[in-house]
């Protein structure tokens, strides 16, 4: 026999030894075909048999069916808004032109702090009216004193004295009207006629928004037109969230109920608060009632006009329920894997079982109608992997 022929004979003998040894290592413990001469029993239809090591490697989790509180929250869509008790929307009382901006967004201000200065003819008119009213009152007072002296000395008529009294009363009333108008327009002075008006902060807080620039024309609230909000001042340490609750759920919602909130901008963060107001009437079209929730916002993540998902804690029954992670959807049926003892070779048996659940609840656990009972051990993680082994 030549050298080449001898090498081929040795290679064939080595292959005959190696291949049969590799077959048992490929057995997965599910429904794969056994190797020739293998004595391992095979699982029947709708069952999967796995060793403890295979369960660990596949990260399969098993939990017994237990009692859980279900239907203990109502989920609604909501929108973040200012807490109106800590916010002020600043308009200009006078019509004019913005001369300068003093406060920018983000600035902390105290009540009375200047926000902007406005050049306004309204202020000049108010100052002029106040000065004229003051001069008319002085003249009316002089005339009244003179007519009284003449009347007391029987040198003047009663008619002239009464007329002086009437004029004095009119002048006094006009003076008061002009003073109130001047106070409304920022305390315009009778001594100096000016057209400058200083817009001031009505509360302590932060300048959240500014909607005007220098040189812009603004309409006054008392000018007969449509005034535009110039500044928004407030605090965002606490915000309101408004949500709509359906009529069928309204009886379960109570003032003071705990709420949890998730915003689109912060999907991994949960905010908590409570219901502090429930509307006294329903929306006639949507058949919903509006509720208001107070949410602490110390880091100011929540901004007005943000959309959020609101979960309202309500009383709910405690029943046998399955976690959603255990559920498999097979066509129009719902199934779970149930641990069913041990196989003859010691592997754990899992059988796929059709169940009926109440899927109307918006929680992580669904009430069991039939199919499994409390105490049954259910695969709660890795069910899809087991289903793929069938």
CB 55 within 8 A of CB 348: yes
Which residues, in sequence order, are CB contacts of 81 under 8 Å at separation 6+?
A: 239, 240, 241, 242, 304, 305
Residues facing residue 283 across a β-bridge: none
**pTM of the entire predicted model:** 0.56
What are the tens digits of pLDDT across the range 222-241?
766 678 899 999 999 999 99
The listed CATH number (3.30.300.20, 3.30.2130.30, 3.40.50.880, 2.40.420.20) that belongs to domain 47-70+318-388: 2.40.420.20
Cα separation, 346 vs 49, whole angstroms: 9
Cα separation, 217 vs 376, whole angstroms: 75
Structure tokens at 231: 């500044």
- Strand-strand pairing, 307-313 and 217-218: unpaired
Q: Which residues of the chain have pLDDT under 50?
A: 1-30, 32-37
* pLDDT value for 12: 42
Structure tokens at 130: 């106040």
Cα separation, 178 vs 188, whole angstroms: 10
* pLDDT value for 120: 84
- Tell me how crowded residue 298 is: count the other CB atoms within 10 A of its CB: 8
* pLDDT value for 202: 92
Q: Count Cα atoms within 13 angstroms, Cβ side, for 97.
A: 2
* pLDDT value for 360: 66
The listed CATH number (2.60.40.10, 3.90.1150.10, 2.40.30.170, 3.30.450.20) that belongs to domain 73-85+234-313: 2.40.30.170
CB 237 within 8 A of CB 296: yes
* pLDDT value for 361: 60
Task: Please name the fold of domain 121-194.
Answer: Helix Hairpins (1.10.287)
Task: Please name the fold of domain 92-118+199-228.
Answer: OB fold (Dihydrolipoamide Acetyltransferase, E2P) (2.40.50)
* pLDDT value for 87: 92
In angstroms, the Cα distances linking 73 to 183, 201, 317 are 53, 42, 11
What are the tens digits of pLDDT across the range 14-63?
333 333 333 233 334 445 444 444 566 788 888 889 888 888 888 899 99
Which candidate, 61, 83, 91, 10, places its Cα nearest to that of 240? 83
Cα separation, 158 vs 171, whole angstroms: 20
**So where are the chain's domains?**
47-70+318-388, 73-85+234-313, 92-118+199-228, 121-194
* pLDDT value for 10: 37
Helix axes 158-184 and 121-152, enclosed angle (nearest 10): 160
* pLDDT value for 191: 57
How far is the first Cα of the chain from the last one, in angstroms, to the nearest whole number? 52
* pLDDT value for 151: 83
Cα separation, 52 vs 149, whole angstroms: 119
CB 269 within 8 A of CB 109: no
* pLDDT value for 310: 94
CB 115 within 8 A of CB 279: no
């Amino acid at each position: 026999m030549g050298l080449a022929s001898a090498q081929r004979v040795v290679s064939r003998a080595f292959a005959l030894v190696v291949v049969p040894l590799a077959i048992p290592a490929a057995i997965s413990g599910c429904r794969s075909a056994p190797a020739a001469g293998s004595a391992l029993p095979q699982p029947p239809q709708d069952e999967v048999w796995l060793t403890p090591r295979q369960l660990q490697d596949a990260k399969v989790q098993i939990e017994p069916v237990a009692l859980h509180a279900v239907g203990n929250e109502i989920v609604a869509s909501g929108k973040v808004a200012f807490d109106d008790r800590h916010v002020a929307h600043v308009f200009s009382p006078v019509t004019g032109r913005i001369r300068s901006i003093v406060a920018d967004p983000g600035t902390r201000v105290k009540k009375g702090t200047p926000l902007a200065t406005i050049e306004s003819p309204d202020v000049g008119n108010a100052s002029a009216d106040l000065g004229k009213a003051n001069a008319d009152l002085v003249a009316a007072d002089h005339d009244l004193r003179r007519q009284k002296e003449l009347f007391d000395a029987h040198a003047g008529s009663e008619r002239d004295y009464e007329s002086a009294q009437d004029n004095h009363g009119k002048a006094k009333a006009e003076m008061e009207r002009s003073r109130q108008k001047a106070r409304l327009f920022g305390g315009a002075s009778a001594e100096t006629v000016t057209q400058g008006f200083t817009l001031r902060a009505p509360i302590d807080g932060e300048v959240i928004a500014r909607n005007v620039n220098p040189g812009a024309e603004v309409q006054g609230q008392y000018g007969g037109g449509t005034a535009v909000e110039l500044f928004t001042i407030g605090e965002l340490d606490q915000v309101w969230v408004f949500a709509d609750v359906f009529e069928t759920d309204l009886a379960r919602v109570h003032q003071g109920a705990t709420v949890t909130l998730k915003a689109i901008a912060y999907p991994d963060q949960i905010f908590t608060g409570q219901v502090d107001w429930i509307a006294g009437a329903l929306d006639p079209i949507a058949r919903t009632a509006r509720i208001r929730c107070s949410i602490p916002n110390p880091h100011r993540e929540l901004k007005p006009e943000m959309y959020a998902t609101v979960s309202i804690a309500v009383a709910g029954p405690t029943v046998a329920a399955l976690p959603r992670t255990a559920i498999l959807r097979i066509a129009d049926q719902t199934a779970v894997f149930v641990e069913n003892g041990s196989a003859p070779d010691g592997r754990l048996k899992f059988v796929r079982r059709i169940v009926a659940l109440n899927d109307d609840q918006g929680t992580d656990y669904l009430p069991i109608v039939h199919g499994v009972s409390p105490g049954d051990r259910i695969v709660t993680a890795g069910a899809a992997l087991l289903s793929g082994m069938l």
